Structure 1
Amino acid sequence: MSKPILLLVDGSSFLYRAFHAMPDLRGPQGQATGAVHGMVAMMKKLRDDIGAEHAACIFDAKGPTFRDEWYPEYKAQRAPMPDALREQIDPIHEVVKLLGWPVLVVPGIEADDAIGTLCRVGAAAGHQVIVATGDKDMAQLVNADVSLINTMAKPPERLDEAGVLEKFGVPPDRIIDYLTLMGDTVDNVPGVEKVGPKTAAKWIAEHGSLDGVIANADKIKGVAGENLRKALDWLPMGRKLVTVVCDCDLAGHVPGWPALEELALKPVDETGLKDFYSRNGFKTWLRELSGETPAASAPKAAPQQTGDLFADASAPASSAIDKHYDTVLDWATFDQWLARINAAPLTGLDTETDSLDPMRASIVGISFSDQVGEAAYIPLRHAGPDAPAQLPLEEVLARLKPWLEDESKAKLGQNIKYDTHVFANHGVNVQGYRHDTMLQSYVLEAHKTHGLEALADRHLGRHGLSYEDLCGKGVHQIPFAQVDVAKASEYSCEDSEMCLGVHERLYPAIEAEAGLKYVYEQIEMPASKLLMRIERNGVLIDGAKLQAQSHELAQRLVKIEQEAYEIAGQPFNMGSPKQIGEILFNKLGLPVVKKTATGAPSTDEEVLDKLAEDYPLPAKILEYRGLAKLKSTYTDKLPLQVNPETGRVHTNYSQAVAVTGRLASTDPNLQNIPIRTAEGRRVREAFVAPAGHHIVSADYSQIELRLMAHISEDPGLLKAFGEGIDVHKATASEVFGTPVADVSSEQRRYAKTINFGLIYGMGAFGLATSLGIETKAAKDYIDRYFARFAGVKRYMDETKARAAELGYVETLFGRRITLPEIKGGNGPRKAGAERQAVNAPMQGTAADLIKLAMVAVQKALDESGKKTRIIMQVHDELVFEVPDAELDWIKAEVPRLMAGVASLKVPLLAEVGVGSNWDEAH
């Protein structure tokens, strides 16, 4: 006979998860309801999925606990609960009780300790105890009678004793030792510095326990051993803090304690729930209680739920999808599917490849879907003893090519730029891509993740196979070509078919908002197509020049190293924070600016910058670090990243990364080459033009200040830009009360720092630090600035207020930038969100403008038959490789085209430079 189940829910863990996963939903009276909605969804699902007779939902109580008495710094660094969550605590307690759950809140102890105590008592009373939590600390409670379930994991995770050992590398009875060694940054419990999960598990396996590790501390070598020995005095307190107490007195909180009969799950209070759902605007659940069948609702502009426990009522569950997938192994089936996709109004298309490098990837298989639930996979290069005979790759591509290159045959994909590259590698120029679900998600919900697996989970409630399910992980991962064809077919068919399903959910939401529709259709989709061309164009690199620079940098580093040794009076490892700390603070006695979490003096860049103002050695260390990074990241690495087939470097531009719309460059990153140092600028000298060509750089001048003038409508800024006055001199004139003609270079420098600092939300302290002046003087400058540029101050105040009301800001073109912390955050997080609210409309609009500009310029190049190629996009700059015969046209037309993509209250100005390399073009 099976044991009765006692289900314990870590309510505090659940409510934070619900708050952060859900958007800022509001009830009929304007009250916050997002976390409430999430908790209802999770608690309903838990009750349905787990047949428990007894249960409790346990929340933390207000006020300190006994751990605060043991260690006053306990949880000291944890941010306060956001106001928007705090106001939902009472409604959450109310609705959980209405759903039939006993609710437990015990002052003076944490929810973890109440759960631990209930586990002990419940197991002793003959229950099988299940704890629903996402907290790794709870793994210490697992035994033959207690297991954990994490419904927040994907897929949901169940941990028994074997599961704990597999996940953490230690058994449940050693989790306390494991946690003690690692520490807990969330709770401000130090561990052993730089000891993570692998090292902690390894030490425990080698020495049996924490006590064994401590006993052998003198035998553990390396930096980790040194750090362990430093932490020995602390470890007993650390162990005490991370141990869940399992013998708390719950009398007065659990009726009949220590008996658990009063924790029986109760019937749902339907009358109370109807009233609650009505008060909070939960219409779908209200209809369910009333016996109505919920109608399928249209997708919402702001997606409302995340994760399997937040599936929208109108999203079909995975089991509701009747899937029919074909594996195409003969020409008859191929012809049937070719006819289907030729007739389809929109076809989902996906490739499986042998590489993540889009310029070098080759096709292993192709899948199509012409409707949700229906898809086909054509395996083309699967190998292995069990692989079936497959259609020939070249002939399949030849037969597909007319459809692939037909602009009138509408296609859909997930990250279509990658697939377009892959087909291009095989000589196929795909046309007709109408939609990209990754970009749809990016436009609708830029602050969330945009992988297809996450999108299907979030919007369809579906969980497909993962790449790791098929290929494994790490060193044991196999190439996709070795995956069993049947599994590969299911995986690829899911991708193309779920892509259609996600599109059907997201695109109507985009169409419903004119601004979002413009950003998606006129900015992001055309930019994606063009970025693929720019990536394929690549940029020519002078490898010999970079090698020479590497050699010079190596000599400089040796010289700086020797100079540092002389200042220190001894040699030391310039890459060792520990040795640097010993030299700076122990030997030289420099002041400690701040400390690490373990109490050691910090030697991070911020600290060294501060110390370098007064001491020579920190300045030498900073110089060394900068040059060493330049050498390793660029002068050494760039020549190795040249594609042997093209002789060029091909970066990857990621669109769906920055919430403001800015592109991110990777492999290699061409946007972060330092330009403030002569050595950094010299790296750009290696980006060269081939014979008969020049490099042309075109960038927007002071774009964000011009956008500030346009958006704020400040008369002073409008006048400066309208009359072509140097805006920094104009600002200096106003702030310092000096005629423009008499503004000194120092005053202009101050004004420039003020102009750009205020755009990025810099306060008096930040400005004082940047200018090297007293905070009071910086505040006076800011006050004077706002007194003379009142429109800027008004814009900032109004923008913060509007962002706090809506939860987002928008660019001039309608791109929406969500600010999750503007309502829910507190202290520094909310202040950061307010700074972002001020800057994001300008930075986002600048990102929109450069994308519109490059699309407009490429269109003009194509229409006029020019051979000029765009080879890079870096922030507000476009870089071209121009045949000498087209230089005059480029110098005249590109600034005109870039200035003409938008009509502002101030002129847009694009400046052009020409050179034999990228540095000369500036």
Structure 2
Amino acid sequence: MSETPVSTLENPSARRTFAVVDGNSLMHRAFHAVPPTMNAPDGRPTNAVFGFLNMFLKMIDAFHPDGVAVAFDRGKPRVRMEMLPQYKAQRPPMDPDLRQQFPMIKELLGAISVPILEAEGWEGDDILGTVARAGEQAGCDMYLITGDRDMYQLTTDHVRVVGTKKGLSDVQIMTPESVEDLYHGITPELVPDFYGLKGDSSDNIPGVPGIGPKKASALIAQYGSLDEVIAHADEVKGKMGENLRAHIDDALVSRRVATIQTNAPVELDFEGTHFPAFDARAVSDALGKLGIMAMQNRFLALIDGEGSVVDEPSTLEVPQILRAAAATGEGMAEALAELDRALSQGEWLGVCVDDDKESGALFGLTHTLWAATSQAVVAIEEPDGSGACPVATDGFDCSRGVIAGCLTRLLLEGKVASPDIKALLHELSPADSSKPQALDPLAVPVEGLFDTVVAAYLLDSVRSSFDDAYLADTYLHVALPLAAGADDAPSGAPAAAALSAVVARGVVEPLSNALESAGAEPVFSQIEMPLVSVLAAMERTGMLVDPERLAAMSEKLSGEIDELASRIRGLAGDDSFNIASPMQLSHILFDVMGLPTKGLKKTQRGYYSTNARVLEELARDYEIVRLILEYREKTKIKSTYLDTLGPLAQSYGDGRVHTTYNQTITATGRLSSSNPNLQNIPTRSELGHTVKTAFSAGEGAVFVAVDYSQIELRLLAHLSGDEHLIRAFNEGEDFHAETAARVFGVPVDQVTRELRSRAKAVNFGIVYGQQAYGLSQSLDIPMAEAREMIDRYFEAYPGVRTYLDNTVTEAKRNGYAETLFGRRRPIPELKMRNPAQRSFGERTAMNHPMQGTAADIIKIAMVRVARRLRDEGFRARMILQVHDELDFECPVDEVDRLVAMVRETMEGVVELSVPLIAEASCGETWADAK
């Protein structure tokens, strides 16, 4: 941290060391040094608090002070404003995200028993000056931690100013000698004279116009002080002399304002103040409340071993483990009795199921059910394929196996928390529909389910991981112990799944409180949790695909790919280069063939990028690039779908493909699909259409697709309240044609296909926050023309402009954007300095209310449709969700009834100021239906 080793400073053993921190200075520097991506569990920003604590701990490590205090400004700087009314008047208001972190840091300082010094009307500078002189007189060595250079005037043999330069770690320790060296002869006591001449624009201290640091230090070096400079003002020649003589009063006032006061009404008990002197539990609780547990061990290390031993462990406590073996019945009665007790008392249980497939496992290939209660962790081990338990299992139907019996009762009668509820449902309703189902996921009461990862995701949807360590750290304020099998894990360490169960049970209450505080509880309980069972059922149903057709398509495409490769290599004049290698392709296109590189950027490895955007630009003029794009599309379709889907379907006993739906991946709230990703098959390309011909509904059934029509545009109309947009939808007009007429100033009946296409691009571009550059690229038109189109759009729909501007303003103020149903998306980019990142944040803020609300609506529709399919006795099954579309396998004789029910349900999810329209189509294959 320090440029000057502490050991070189005068610090006789008889003198105590005190550090006094300028709280306002460090909080401002921390706020701008740490990216605004950190938040407490309740959503409050914590980047400044984190940065402050980081600097604080580095200061402790560097100087090992016996005592610490922190000074803060309080109220307006009345003391200096009386000297200079315009003092700091030009400074903008404090950022709201920073302002709300001051009470947080003060609460934390209280938790670590650090005195806070402040006085109404006084600045932290003067409090530091007052305490510095008092400490020096009390026989202490003082370190003043600040970012203000005018504090250098306080340096003496026993007062050091630790100046932060850049960020939080680059500092310099100022002594009288280093101050004089820095300012070319200006000693600490002359620093106010120096500021009297040069002024300080950051504080609105005028000084003398035209006199900067170099001239100020030269004048003082020549005459000895500001008073002597003024006395010899007539000797100073030129414009500088004129300014000096005309601004003598300004110089004197500026010196007075720049002089640090040492008589602030504050006191510090140097004898009674010690550091560290805090309680471990208080620190853990305070850090945990703000979700800054990464700092916990660093603070606890300060007191551990120094007489203040940590009273409570900082790692997760695991209750006693009650082990039961289904094969022998050993321990089963006690384990089941504990589960029965927890159920009867209405406890939340943390539940996980894992496999032990290691050769040395006690029971061979086993399943283990882990259930954490308030008293114990129940572990029921059962060999795969086991039947009934050989001992009595009162209250549990174990005819299909002990784990199935226990889990069924827990889900039907209990309150189950888990990091993956869907995985538990699949234990009883396997994804492979050829395997027997012990429990229909839709029969499980949703009010008894709590998916901890889904809950954590709703509180921070831009985060990519919500593992046990994160949940324990953020919501329980403890670290996870090492699990069995981990490096350096002690003998008898609990299994990872046991820890998962304990964490899941423990975080229910804090997560529930956080969801309530963030207004996210309705989204969790009414949208996301009911959806889990629906997704489990859809994953089990899967989709029927024809492996033979896929194989034939792959073989045909393989020949086309080979032909394309031959043509590309022929045009390149190189019959051996790897077309799939970006480096080799870049060499061929730009070095060998000399294609233009203007405006292109090189990758970190030093070659020009050949990404899709670059190639699409070049494809307009170069045949080889067009062929390369075609080659890429065909090889991707072949490897991702044609060569994968058939073998995947054949790996299941039912011969179907079973995608996995992910609820916690996208920041918008949309579902994603994986293994395989069935949402990403190209919808507009001929190849994508061809892939979909391999999906069918089976004999006697058809494929039915129902999707929302222009849902995001309809939501824009509703949310913006723009009367023209609303009227266009309510009157049932061709919305894109209507927009074209308004934007291009022609009657609707004269709108050409090209004008309608352009209007459509603008309509959807506005929803996604697209700017002129993006529109110019998508339509291949000049920037000026794209900008004019957008301007005309906002003239035609003025309510939209107002709404989008207000949405961005609200997002900047709150730190997030919100859907109609209360789903929040944090947007830290809005606070970032990089213009491109801020621009992304603004587009995100504009888009989230529409895209996120559309995601909420389709999820609600899925839940309601699934319930009606079950309750109304349909044989049709919901098999796929792709953004705004729901797909079904439907017997031919049910099509009309199904379409009517699904449309009614989808259109009735929410009442908008414009109609919510769902459109249906059907066919023998997925391709035919769409």
TM interval, shorter chain, is 0.5 to 0.7
Matched residue, 1:133: none
Q: Check if 1:369 corresponds to 2:380.
A: no
What is the rounded CA distance, in whole Å, between the counterparts of 1:907 and 1:728 in structure 2? Answer: 16
**Which of 660, 670, 675 pairs up with 2:668?**
660
Q: 366, 385, 410: which one pairs with 1:404?
A: 410
In the alignment, what sits opposite 2:620?
613
Aligned match for 1:579, one of 580, 584, 594: 584
Q: How far did residue 768 of structure 1 move?
A: 1.1
Q: How far apart are 1:42 and its partner, in Å?
A: 4.3
Shift of 1:753: 0.6
Aligned-pair distance for 1:19? 4.4
Residue number among 414, 434, 457 corresponding to 2:449 in the alignment: 434
- The C-alpha deviation readout for 1:852-872, integer Å capped at 9, x for no partner, is 111111111111111111111
SS state at 2:926 partner: coil
* Structure 1, unpaired ranges of 5+: 57-81, 116-268, 275-285, 384-388, 474-482
Q: What residue is the counterpart of 1:793 in the other structure? A: 801
- Cα offset, 1:295, TM superposition: 12
Q: Which residue of 2 aligns with 1:522?
A: 526
Indicate conservation of the 8 Å contact 1:84/1:823, yes or no.
Answer: no
Deviates more, 1:903-912 or 1:47-56: 47-56
Tell me the alpha carbon deviations over residues 74-131 of structure 1, each in whole angstroms, 9 at most, x when there is no partner: xxxxxxxx9999999999999997789987558799968989xxxxxxxxxxxxxxxx
Show the counterpart of 2:210.
Answer: none
Among 690, 697, 707, the alignment partner of 1:699 is 707
Cα distance in 2 for residues equivalent to 1:535 and 1:858:
13
Label 1:113 to 1:273 Cα distance change in 2 as closer, same or farther (>3 A): closer
State the Cα distance separating 1:820 from its structure 2 match: 1.2
C-alpha contact (below 8 Å) 2:689/2:927 kept by paired residues: yes
| Percent identical residues | 34
1:821 maps to 829
- 1:516 and 1:815 in contact (8 A); partners too: yes
Evaluate the alpha carbon distance shift between residue 110 and residue 853 of structure 1 in structure 2; reply closer, same or farther with a 3 A threshold.
Answer: closer
What's the secondary structure of 2:929's corresponding residue? coil
* Aligned position for 1:307: 294
CA–CA distance in structure 2, aligned partners of residues 362 and 666 of structure 1: 27
Report the count of equivalent residues: 696
Q: Aligned AA for 1:666?
A: S
TM normalised by structure 1 equals 0.67
Shift of 1:485: 10
Aligned to 1:602: 609
Q: Measure how far apart 1:320 and its partner are.
A: 8.1
How far did 1:419 drift? 1.7
Q: Conserved in 2, the CA contact under 8 Å of 1:445 and 1:818? A: yes
- Check the 8 A contact 2:794/2:800 in 1, yes or no: yes
Q: Deviations over 1:226-265 (max 9, x none)?
A: xxxxxxxxxxxxxxxxxxxxxxxxxxxxxxxxxxxxxxxx
Task: Letter of the 1:370 partner, please give it.
Answer: T
CA deviations over 1:423-455 (Å, ceiling 9, x no partner) = 334844273442111111122222233222211
The correspondence for 1:636, drawn from 643, 648, 664, is 643
Equivalent residues of 2:41, 2:514 under 8 A apart: no
> Structure 1 residues 697, 556: closer, same or farther in 2, change over 3 A?
same
- CA separation of 1:22/1:512 partners in 2, compared to 1, >3 Å: closer, same or farther? closer
Partners of 1:54 and 1:6 in 2: CA distance: 16
- d(CA) in 2 for partners of 1:828, 1:913: 41
Deviation at 1:575, TM superposition (A): 1.5
Asked if the contact 1:404/1:428 (under 8 Å) is kept, the reply is no
Distance 1:874 1:376 in 2: 40
**Structure-2 separation of matches of 1:901 and 1:472:** 51
Q: Work out whether residues 370 and 498 of structure 2, in 8 Å CA contact, stay in contact via their aligned partners in 1.
A: yes
Once residues 616 and 337 of structure 1 are traced to their aligned partners in structure 2, the CA distance between those partners, rounded to angstroms, is 72
Question: Structure 1 residues 583, 83: CA separation in 2 closer, same or farther (over 3 Å shift)?
Answer: farther
1:162 equivalent in structure 2: none
Partners of 1:26 and 1:33 within 8 A in 2: no
1:553 Cα shift?
Answer: 1.0
Which residue in the other structure is 2:241 paired with?
Answer: none
Distance 2:338 2:737 in 1: 67
Map of 1:112-131 to 2, 5 A cutoff? none
Output the CA distance in 2 between the equivalents of 1:725 and 1:324: 68
Residue 417 of structure 2 aligns to a residue in which SS? Answer: strand
- Name the CA distance, whole Å, in 2 between partners of 1:908 and 1:273: 67
Tell me, yes or no, if the aligned pair for 2:339 and 2:373 is still in contact at 8 Å.
Answer: no
- Note closer, same or farther for the CA distance 1:291–1:347 as it changes in structure 2 (3 Å cut): closer
> What residue in structure 2 maps to residue 226 of structure 1?
none
Q: What is the identity, as a one-letter code, of the residue corresponding to 1:678? A: E
How far the C-alpha of 1:324 sits from its partner, in A, is: 3.2
Partners of 2:351 and 2:417 within 8 A in 1: yes
Are 1:552 and 2:541 counterparts? no
Q: Tell me how far apart the structure 2 counterparts of residues 461 and 585 of structure 1 sit (CA, whole Å).
A: 55
Please point out which of 399, 404, 428 is paired with 1:423. 428
Alignment check: 8 A CA contact 2:366 2:384 kept: no
- SS at 1:841 equivalent: helix
In structure 2, distance between residues paired with 1:690 and 1:839:
39
CA deviation profile, 1:386-443 (whole Å, cap 9, x unmatched): xxx9x9996523652562353x322221121112112334844273442111111122
Distance in 1 separating the partners of 2:402 and 2:539: 27
Separation of aligned partners in 2, 1:312 and 1:789: 56
Give deviations 1:108-162, integer Å, cap 9, x for gaps: 99968989xxxxxxxxxxxxxxxxxxxxxxxxxxxxxxxxxxxxxxxxxxxxxxx
The residue aligned with 1:380 is 382
Q: Distance in 2 between matches of 1:306 and 1:355?
A: 35
Q: Report if aligned partners of 1:98, 1:272 keep a CA contact under 8 Å in 2.
A: no
Q: CA deviation at 1:757?
A: 1.0
Q: Identify the residue that residue 506 of structure 1 maps to in structure 2.
A: 511
Residue 775 (structure 1) shift: 0.8
- Taking structure 1 as reference, are residues 462 and 295 closer, same or farther at Cα in structure 2, changes over 3 Å only? closer
Q: State the 1:761 CA deviation.
A: 1.4
The 3 A distance-change label for structure 1 pair 273 and 367 is farther
Question: SS of the residue aligned with 2:878?
Answer: strand
Alignment of 1:742-757 (within 5 A): 742-757=750-765
Counterpart residue type for residue 353 of structure 2: T
Aligned to 2:470: 454
Q: Secondary structure of 2:928's match?
A: coil
CA distance in 2, matches of 1:576, 1:103: 56
Aligned partner of 2:529: which letter? Answer: M
CA distance 1:457–1:521, shift in 2 (3 Å): same
1:571-625: CA deviation from partner (whole Å, max 9, x where unpaired) = 2321222332232223322101412235432222221111111111111111111
The amino acid of 2:870's aligned partner reads D
Among candidates 306, 320, 327, match of residue 324 of structure 1: 320
SS in 2 for 1:318: coil
Q: Which amino acid aligns with 1:619?
A: R
**Cα shift readout 1:803-835 (whole Å, capped 9, x = no counterpart):** 111111111111111111212443111110000
Larger Rg: 2
What's 2:304 paired with?
none
1:159-178 equivalences in 2 (<5 Å)? none
Who is 1:227 aligned against?
none
Match of 1:349 among 338, 348, 351: 351
> Residues 322, 107 of structure 1: CA spacing in aligned structure 2 closer, same or farther, 3 A cutoff?
closer
Letter of the structure 2 residue corresponding to residue 434 of structure 1 = L
Counterpart of 1:436 in structure 2: which amino acid? D
1:336-372: CA deviation from partner (whole Å, max 9, x where unpaired): 323223323122211112599xxxx99621111222x
Structure 1 residue 466 displacement after superposition: 5.9
Where 2:654 maps in the other structure, the secondary structure is coil
Residue 631 of structure 2 is aligned with which of 596, 599, 624?
Answer: 624
Q: Which amino acid aligns with 2:368?
A: G
1:765 equivalent to 2:773? Answer yes
- For residues 702 and 50 of structure 1, the distance between their equivalents in structure 2, rounded to whole angstroms, comes to 61
Shift of the 842–540 alpha-carbon distance from structure 1 to 2, 3 Å rule, reads same
Deviation string, structure 1 residues 637-688 (Cα, Å, up to 9, x no partner) = 1112114212111111110111211011011111111122101111011111
Q: 1:460 to 1:34 in 2, by over 3 A?
A: same
Distance 1:308 1:270 in 2: 33
